[in-house]
Amino acid sequence: MGEMKTYSGSCHCGKIRFEVTADIGKASSCNCSICGRTGWLMTSVLSDAFKVLSGAEAQVDYQFGSKTMHHLFCGTCGVRAFGTYAADGQDKIVVNLRCLDGLDIDALEIQKFDGKSY
């Protein structure tokens, strides 16, 4: 914990690849209607710390409710690896930690996030 690290990640079929630099010691488990269904463990970063390396054109954008978030998923394999949103005037990315290479999910401290109430 307490270490900034760059992780690579991808959807299941590998069309969409990305890189994120973050200190990931904790993961949020969200109870909203979409995360609850897809079992996300996530963290949020500023868009500066995130880069799509390939497959941007393979992404499908899904929005619902207040449409504040772009719930992107791969049009081929259906995996939702990350999403984008704006908060406090900044562009942010929420990353599905289960899609990162070499991250030990079981070592993370899981925090509950009450997305249902937003």
Chain residues binding Zn ion by CB under 5 A are: 11, 13, 15, 74, 76-77
Nearer to Zn ion, 74 or 108 (CB): 74
Query: What is the distance between the alpha carbons of residues 6 and 69, in angstroms, rounded to a whole number?
Result: 24
For residues 31-66, b (16+ Cβ closer than 10 Å) or e, as one string?
Answer: ebebbeeeebbbbbbeeebbeeeebeebbeeeeeee
Nearer to Zn ion, 29 or 98 (CB): 98
CB of 72 to Zn ion, least distance (A): 11
Nearer to Zn ion, 54 or 68 (CB): 54
Which of 115, 31, 112, 113 has the alpha carbon at shortest distance from 66? 115
CB of 75 to Zn ion, least distance (A): 8
Nearer to Zn ion, 53 or 86 (CB): 53
